[in-house]
Amino acid sequence: MHATKDPIDTQGLEATKNLMELQAYLSKKYIRTAIMEISIFISKVGQSYYHIKRPLFVFLNDNEETKQQFSRDVAPWIDMSYPNWLVFMKNETNIDDYFDDIYVQFDCTFMTSKIYLEGEIITEVYQIDRGAELRKNLFATWNHSTGILTPKLSLYQRRNNLFGHTFRVMSIEDPPQSMISRNIKNEIIGFKGFFGGVIELLQKNMNCTIIYQDNDEWGYELDNGSWTGMIGSLINNKTDIVAAELMMTAERLDAIKFTTPLYSTKIRAFIKRPSSSPIKWAAYYAPFSMGPWSILGISILVTGASISFVKYIEAANKINDEPASLTDTILGVFGALCGQGMEASSLDPIRIIHFVIHMCGLVILAAYSAALISSLAVKTFVMPFTTMKGLLQDGTYRFGVVSGSADYSFFQNTSDEVLSVLFSEILVKEVDLPSNYLEGLTKVCDEYNYAFMTVDDAVAQLSSSVNCILVPLDTISQTSIGMGLRPGSPYRGILDSNLLLLRDSGLMQRLLNSDWALPGDNEDSLWSTVGIFDILPLIAFLLISIILCLLCLFIEKIIEKKKIKLNREIKIVRKLKLNIKNSLKFQARDNKLFKINSRILK
Ligand SMILES: *[C@@H]1O[C@H](CO)[C@@H](O)[C@H](O)[C@H]1NC(C)=O
Ligand SMILES: *[C@@H]1O[C@H](CO)[C@@H](O)[C@H](O)[C@H]1NC(C)=O
Ligand SMILES: *[C@@H]1O[C@H](CO)[C@@H](O)[C@H](O)[C@H]1NC(C)=O
């Protein structure tokens, strides 16, 4: 860039020829160049300089006119940090004087080159803040023999010190990620939690000063386009950095700058775990599938039968006296499999069968008990619903989000049908929305049928601070969390590079994983208890068995009574028959006697 209309007029033929040669040389290297007067640049290129990719603006001299035009006509409106700059300076020029009324902001790469011995020495200049001291660092040297020696460190490794620059940092009471600590006079003395840790490390690494501020609202966009809460403070230049769990939403990205994401998390609604678990009717036969059960049944029959068979043979050989009945033996085998003893036998074949049954029973009992115990101890709960749609259809649940937060605007401006109905029918009725996640989750526990939308990592840390068990619904969306910066902030680069360093060194993860102790943390008991409903099937089985037994007994009794009666009747009949027979006999005898008598009489 040059100031005068025609460089040929002012710089002479030699200089112009060199310039043309340089242009030709660069174009061979596929570097596009344009030689332009500053006033033409303003009128022709203007704001569209953003279309030039990675531009390097070069001033071939530091004439008063060039400097004047640059500092007066270009520097005030151009985004100084977008292009890189290079000024060739005369040896006698004082760099500080040259930049007297140019603000070279912190993230701007501005280089000056001066002749030094046989070559050039390139210095980079920047200011930490408007009006602050101009900082000059050696950037590179060049001469004929060595060529250019460029710096080994990256931009923010060279500019890693803010020399006590003051940042106003704002946060919000949002345990566990950000908490505000105050002294007795209620003045803010610092932040705690994950963001407190990050800010502390950044302050140490960047050598800056922090002024702590607080706010009680996250910030959302009003209808007239202005923002409330912490986002509003950033936009209105009331603060420089917002260190809190800010979700990077599209609307916010339009309004403010964000640092690189610190972590990402899932957004979803949480409800209180239902108090009852379903009755597990299948628990008692579920440990084995049909196959093992049938094998078990068959082996009971087979072993029972073989014992009976052996006993029968031995009884036939008169070695043993009483052959047991098959049903008794099978019942005995079943008992053995359930861990009962069996009647000992003095016969070796039977002993061997007993041994096999007992070994088998031991293994099966162990496997069965293990499966049964674990299925009883692990509780599954019937969720009333698992999706937001279910929550809406259920109709008995209230629903809340943190007030004035990205969560709220998420619902306000959603294209999802279910969520927008949820917003207009349920969410807007909530008058007293919680101001942070802890408050919301406490509400979930304390109030009847209350669902609350939050992020996973908050629940992971807060679940020990609330007095019920929270269960998640399906994920609504994934979100990234970053710190907010003022829209024109030049410090994003240094913050990002420091944050990336924290991430690469694992410090960020350590901060994320550390438990920030909260008041009222309760040690969750590790035991899950077995309630009466869990063993209901067993009780039912017992009751049914008892009833069946009683029924059998009753029927047996009746049958027995009938039998006795029948026997008595049979006896009576037999006696009767005998009597009749006897009487017939007597009659016959009488008849005979009568005949004899009559014959005698005759
Ligand atoms: C930090 O900044 C102060 C100026 O506020 C300066 O005196 C000090 O030397 C700096 N510390 C380091 C390690 O550079
Ligand atoms: C937007 O509205 C709020 C109040 O509703 C007001 O405080 C603010 O000044 C308005 N902003 C603009 C830019 O009009
Ligand atoms: C949602 O946000 C976009 C961008 O900010 C806006 O253009 C649109 O009108 C909003 N929609 C609703 C329903 O508020």
- The DSSP result for 460-493, as a single string, is HHHTTTSSS-EEE----EEEEEEEEE-TT-TTHH
Residue nearest to atom 5 of ligand 1 (CA): 164
Ligand 3 center from residue 251 Cα (angstroms): 9
Pocket mutation for ligand 2, best pick of 220, 222, 233 (most atoms within 8 Å of C-beta): 222
Pocket mutation for ligand 1, best pick of 165, 207, 208 (most atoms within 8 Å of C-beta): 207
Residue 356 lies in a domain: yes
Are the beta carbons of 453 and 401 closer than 8 angstroms? Answer: yes
What's the token pair of residue 116? 């030094």
**What b/e readout covers 213-223, taking b as 16+ CB neighbours within 10 angstroms?**
bbbebbbbbee
How many CB atoms are closer than 10 A to CB 258? 21
Are the beta carbons of 213 and 168 closer than 8 angstroms? Answer: yes
What's the token pair of residue 470? 């929270």
Euclidean distance between CA atoms 441 and 437, whole angstroms: 6
Are the beta carbons of 134 and 97 closer than 8 angstroms? Answer: no
Give the dihedral of Cα atoms 536, 541, 543, 544; nearest 10 deg.
140
Atom of ligand 2 nearest to the CA of 225: 13
Residue 400 lies in a domain: no
Predicted confidence at residue 287, as pLDDT, reads 85
Burial class (CB in 10 A: 0-12, 13-18, 19+), 429: exposed
Domain stop point among 106, 140, 158? 158
Which position has the token pair 């004439």?
A: 63
Predicted confidence at residue 484, as pLDDT, reads 94
Domain stop point among 130, 158, 186? 158
Residue 593 lies in a domain: no
Domain stop point among 105, 138, 158? 158
Residue 368 lies in a domain: yes
Predicted confidence at residue 313, as pLDDT, reads 83
Residue nearest to atom 13 of ligand 1 (CA): 207
- Of the listed ligands, the closest to the CA of 249 is 3
Residue nearest to atom 11 of ligand 2 (CA): 226
Atom of ligand 3 nearest to the CA of 415: 13
Residues with CB under 6 A from ligand 1: 161, 163-164, 207
Predicted confidence at residue 521, as pLDDT, reads 47
Q: How far is CA 425 from the centre of its chain?
A: 28
Predicted confidence at residue 595, as pLDDT, reads 87
Please state, in angstroms and as integers, the Cα–Cα distance from residue 215 to each residue in 200, 233, 247, 354, 444, following that order: 19, 9, 16, 79, 25
Which strand (E) or helix (H) includes residue 88?
Answer: strand 84-89
Q: How far is CA 246 from the centre of its chain?
A: 17
Ligand 3 center from residue 414 Cα (angstroms): 8
CATH number at residue 310: 1.10.287
Name the stretches of the chain with pLDDT < 50: 519-523
Q: Which of 83, 76, 81 is nearest to 36 (CA)?
A: 83
CATH number at residue 70: 3.40.50
Ligand 2 center from residue 226 Cα (angstroms): 6
Cβ(413) to ligand 3 under 6 A?
yes
Q: Which of 454, 447, 446, 515 is nearest to 481 (CA)?
A: 454
Are the beta carbons of 106 and 496 closer than 8 angstroms? Answer: no
Predicted confidence at residue 19, as pLDDT, reads 84
Residue nearest to atom 6 of ligand 3 (CA): 413
Cβ(63) to ligand 3 under 6 A?
no
- Of the listed ligands, the closest to the CA of 222 is 2
Residue nearest to atom 7 of ligand 2 (CA): 226
Which position has the token pair 């710089």?
A: 11
Q: Which of 408, 375, 406 is nearest to 528 (CA)?
A: 375
Are the beta carbons of 160 and 206 closer than 8 angstroms? Answer: yes
Ligand 2 center from residue 216 Cα (angstroms): 19
Ligand 3 center from residue 47 Cα (angstroms): 27
Ligand 2 center from residue 225 Cα (angstroms): 8
Residue 373 lies in a domain: yes
Residue 294 lies in a domain: yes
For strands 241-247 and 165-172, give the pairing: parallel
Ligand 3 center from residue 223 Cα (angstroms): 10
Number of domains making up the chain: 2
Burial class (CB in 10 A: 0-12, 13-18, 19+), 190: middle
- 438-442, Cβ contacts within 8 angstroms, sequence gap of 24 or more: 438/174, 438/175, 438/462, 438/465, 438/466, 438/518, 440/400, 440/401, 440/402, 441/270, 441/465, 441/466, 441/470, 442/466
Ligand 3 center from residue 246 Cα (angstroms): 20
Structural domain of 64: 8-158
Q: How far is CA 123 from the centre of its chain?
A: 49
What's the token pair of residue 8? 């040929």
Pocket mutation for ligand 2, best pick of 224, 227, 231, 236 (most atoms within 8 Å of C-beta): 224
Residue 512 lies in a domain: no
Residue 443 lies in a domain: no
Euclidean distance between CA atoms 326 and 308, whole angstroms: 6
